């Protein structure tokens, strides 16, 4: 995969946005031309066809713009060089990564067949991560940090 500079990605994003605007304008212009030069029945068919395809084209262009914007944002962040790689928690004789805690809690939630928003609470004294699902908890909703 070829690396792009933030400047190049930004220019690409601008070009895609301009193209999307041009596509919208072209659809409007085409509809007007067809309306002016064709019989009413034919005009209606052509206009419907153009109008039906326009959202797809615009949607694809907008998706491309969003992707290019995300890529540009990532490129700028990488260029800045500041990024948190990992956060670890050292409590008593336990050293655990917060990513590992999150994975363990997600697995425990899935094993229990629960779904929804998860909140995690770490109790250093008990060396456990307690969690709630949709703001509902239980004594069983915990992960032992010593086992991670």
Question: Which of these, 109, 117, 103, lies nearest to 138 by C-alpha position?
Answer: 109
Domain ranges across the chain = 6-80, 88-147
Q: What single DSSP character describes residue 93?
A: T
Phi, psi torsion values for 144, nearest 5 degrees? -75, 120
Instruction: Supply the pLDDT for residue 21.
Output: 75
Asked if 89 and 100 touch (Cβ cutoff 8 Å), the reply is no
| 92 compared with 53, residue with greater pLDDT | 92
Is pLDDT above 60 for 125?
Answer: yes
pLDDT, the chain, mean: 78
Q: In whole angstroms, give the CA distance from residue 40 to residue 34.
A: 9
Contacts of 54 (CB under 8 A, 6+ apart): 23, 24, 27
């Amino acid at each position: 995969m070829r690396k792009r500079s933030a400047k190049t990605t930004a220019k690409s994003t601008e070009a895609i946005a301009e193209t999307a605007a041009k596509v919208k304008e072209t659809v409007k212009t085409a509809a007007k031309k067809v309306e002016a030069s064709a019989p009413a029945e034919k005009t209606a068919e052509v206009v419907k066809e153009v109008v039906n395809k326009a959202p797809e084209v615009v949607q694809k262009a907008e998706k491309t713009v969003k992707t290019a914007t995300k890529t540009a944002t990532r490129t700028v962040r990488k260029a800045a060089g500041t990024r948190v790689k990992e956060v670890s928690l050292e409590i008593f004789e336990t050293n655990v990564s917060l990513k590992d805690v999150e994975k363990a809690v997600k697995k425990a939630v899935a094993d229990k067949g629960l779904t929804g928003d998860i909140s995690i609470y770490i109790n250093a004294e008990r060396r456990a991560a307690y969690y709630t699902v949709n703001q509902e908890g239980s004594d069983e909703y915990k992960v032992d940090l010593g086992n991670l």
